[in-house]
Amino acid sequence: AQFVEFGGGLVQPGGSLRLSCVFSGRIFSLYGMAWYRQAPEKPRELGATTTSNGRTDYRDAVKGRFTIYRENANNTMYLQMNSLKPEDTAVYYCHDIGSVAPWGQGTQVTVSS
């Protein structure tokens, strides 16, 4: 499996971004998927998950602000991020749940005024 993330950038506090993840190498619709993030000098953490049939879950820090969703026909997953905070600054990665496939390059999100 391969993962390509894009859509990051520099945004002011309170702003929004939509991240995209393109998945290849397997049948996307069969896999639970997740967005992770890694802030400088911190371990990678799980941010949001979606099952193969679209059930979602979020870490408390992003609940009510982030929305994870997927388009199985396009092998693509998204993360809509609203009301961004400086503490959301991180490199964001997507990955399927449970595999040991290599990680993608991630996409940098910087929230700063």
pLDDT, residue 26, reads 83
pLDDT in tens, the chain (113 residues): 899 999 999 999 999 999 999 998 888 888 899 999 999 999 999 999 999 888 999 999 999 999 999 999 999 999 999 999 999 999 999 999 988 889 999 999 999 99
pLDDT value of residue 21: 97
CA distance 71 to 74: 6
What pLDDT does 41 receive?
A: 95
Q: What is the reported pLDDT for 33?
A: 94
User: Mean pLDDT across the chain, nearest whole number?
Assistant: 95
- pLDDT score at 109: 98
Sequence-ordered strand ranges (E) for the chain: 2-6, 9-11, 17-24, 33-38, 45-50, 56-58, 66-71, 76-81, 90-96, 107-111
Closest CA to 82 of 68, 92, 99: 68
Residue 99: predicted pLDDT = 83
Let me know the angle formed at the C-alpha of 97 by 95 and 99, rounded to the nearest 5 degrees.
Answer: 85
pLDDT at 100: 87
- How many angstroms separate the CA atoms of 35 and 5, rounded? 10
38: left (phi over 0), alpha (psi -120 to 50) or beta: beta
Give the pairing of strands 107-111 and 33-38: unpaired
